[in-house]
Structure 1
Amino acid sequence: MAGRVAWKRVKHVLDRFHQAAFCPKYLLYTNIGISVGLSMVGDTMEQTYERVIGELPAWNRIRTVRMGISGLTVGVVCHYWYQYLDYLFPKRNFKVVIVKILLDQFICSPFYIAVFFLTMAVLEHNSWEELQEEIRDKALILYMAEWTVWPLAQFINFLLIKPQYRVFYDNTISLGYDIYTSQVKYRKKPEPKND
Structure 2
Amino acid sequence: MNSLRTVLRKYQILLKTYPVSTQAIQSGLLMGVGDTIAQICIEKKPLEEFNVKRLFNYSLVGLVYVGPSLRIWYGGLDKMFPSSGRKLQYKKVLVDQGIFAPAFIASILTILMGINGEKPEAIKEKLKQDYKDILITNYKIWPAVMIVNFSFVPVNYQVLVTQTVAVLWNIYFAWKANQPVIKIE
- Percent pairwise identity: 24
Equivalent of 2:49 in 58, 76, 95: 58
Which deviates more from structure 2 when the two are superposed, residues 90-99 or residues 125-134?
125-134
Indicate the structure whose relative CO is greater, using CA pairs within 8 Å and at least 6 residues apart.
Answer: 2
Q: Does structure 2 conserve the Cα–Cα contact (< 8 Å) formed by 1:31 and 1:79?
A: yes
- 2:13 aligns with one of 14, 20, 24: 20
* CA gap 1:94/1:120 in 2 versus in 1, 3 angstroms: same
User: Which amino acid is 1:112 matched to?
Assistant: F
For residue 22 of structure 1, give the secondary structure of its aligned residue in structure 2.
Answer: helix
CA–CA distance in structure 2, aligned partners of residues 188 and 55 of structure 1: 19
How far residue 139 of structure 1 moved from its aligned partner, in angstroms, is: 1.1
> Following the alignment from structure 1 to structure 2, what is the Cα–Cα distance between the partners of residues 101 and 51?
32
* DSSP 3-state at the match of 1:109: helix
Q: Contact (CA 8 Å) 1:142, 1:181: kept in 2 or not?
A: yes
Where do 4+ consecutive residues of structure 1 move more than 4 Å? 54-57
Does residue 93 in structure 1 map to residue 85 in structure 2? yes
Task: Pick which of 162-171 and 56-65 moved more.
Answer: 56-65
Are positions 1:182 and 2:182 aligned together?
Answer: no
CA distance in 2, matches of 1:184, 1:127: 18
Partner of 2:140: 148
d(CA) in 2 for partners of 1:15, 1:128: 43
Q: How does 1:30-179 map to 2 (within 5 A)?
A: 30-50=22-42, 52=44, 58-72=49-63, 73-179=65-171
Q: In structure 2, do the counterparts of structure 1 residues 12 and 171 end up closer, same or farther at CA, with 3 Å as the change threshold?
A: closer
Q: Distance in 1 between matches of 2:131 and 2:143?
A: 18
String of CA shifts for 1:104-155, please: whole Å, max 9, x gaps.
1111111211221221132122222221111111111111111000111000
Rg: which structure is higher?
A: 1
Shift of 1:92: 1.7
Q: Distance in 2 between matches of 1:85 and 1:14?
A: 29
* Structure 2: 5+ residue stretches without partners: none
Unaligned runs of 5+ in 1: 1-6
Superposition CA RMSD, Å: 2.2
Q: Give the paired residue count.
A: 182
